[in-house]
Amino acid sequence: MRAVPVIVFMMVTASNVFYTVNSAGLLEIGSFENKTFYREAEGFSHTYMEFVEFCHSHDLQPASISNHDEQSTVQHHFNETQFYRHLWLGIWDIGSEGQWHWVGQGQGLSSPVQADYSNWDPNHQGGGREENCAIIRNSDFLWVDVPCSFAAVPLCQSDYA
Ligand SMILES: [Ca+2]
């Protein structure tokens, strides 16, 4: 993991919650013992493959959400910043329909890690072979399968855990 980039400015929300934007244009939205979440600060949308490349280009990984605390932190960020854009998750079922896996660090896209926590919308996980990537939906924060050509904002993490 590389050193934390120099902070070049601060962003202040209406509720006076501070989120830091680093020199790489990444907004830190939550930190845990074994990972820190970042999103693309400007809210630009990308396809899934662009999202993966975006994270890797910053020495980060596509985000995995491993437990309720991590999910809650992302939801808190949506609410505090009134950020109403879909966020990509580093998860997909490209290999076998319905078998969702996290994209693992240094393992490329063909050797994923089995997901053991989820927050799926029960009505939107059955997109079949047309929908093999997933977002955190902006309205209710549930996970929804979408085509990998969908446009959403990158959510990356500092390490894979
Ligand atoms: Ca699918």
pLDDT digits (tens, 9 = 90+) for 72-128: 999 999 999 888 899 999 998 888 888 888 886 444 444 445 556 789 998 877 788
Q: Tell me the residues surrounding ligand 1 (ion) with CB < 5 Å.
A: 93, 132
What pLDDT score does 156 carry?
Answer: 95
Residue with tokens 């904002």: 153
Strands lying side by side in the sheet with 87-92: 113-114, 101-102, 87-92, 133-136, 143-146
Residue with tokens 């896996």: 101
Contact call for residues 70 and 37 (beta carbons, < 8 A): yes
Task: Express as a percent the part of the chain with pLDDT over 90.
Answer: 51
| Architecture in CATH for domain 7-157 | Roll (3.10)
What average pLDDT does the chain have?
83
Residue 125, exposed/middle/buried by CB under 10 A (0-12, 13-18, 19+)?
Answer: middle
What pLDDT score does 13 carry?
Answer: 46
List the beta strands (DSSP E) in the chain: 7-12, 18-22, 26-31, 36-40, 61-62, 87-92, 101-102, 113-114, 133-136, 143-146, 155-157
User: Quick one: DSSP state of residue 154?
Assistant: -
Band the pLDDT of 49: cuts 50, 70, 90.
very high
Q: Ligand 1 mean position to 79 CA, how many Å?
A: 29
Q: Ligand 1 mean position to 149 CA, how many Å?
A: 13
Contact call for residues 97 and 129 (beta carbons, < 8 A): yes
Q: How far is CA 126 from CA 9, 54, 141, 143, in A?
A: 42, 27, 18, 12
**How do residues 51-74 score in pLDDT, each as one tens digit?**
999 999 999 999 999 899 999 999
Band the pLDDT of 133: cuts 50, 70, 90.
very high
pTM for the full model? Answer: 0.82
Report whether pLDDT(161) > 70: no
Rounded Cα–Cα distance for residues 123 and 149 (Å): 21
Q: Ligand 1 mean position to 72 CA, how many Å?
A: 25
What pLDDT score does 157 carry?
Answer: 94
Q: Ligand 1 mean position to 94 CA, how many Å?
A: 6
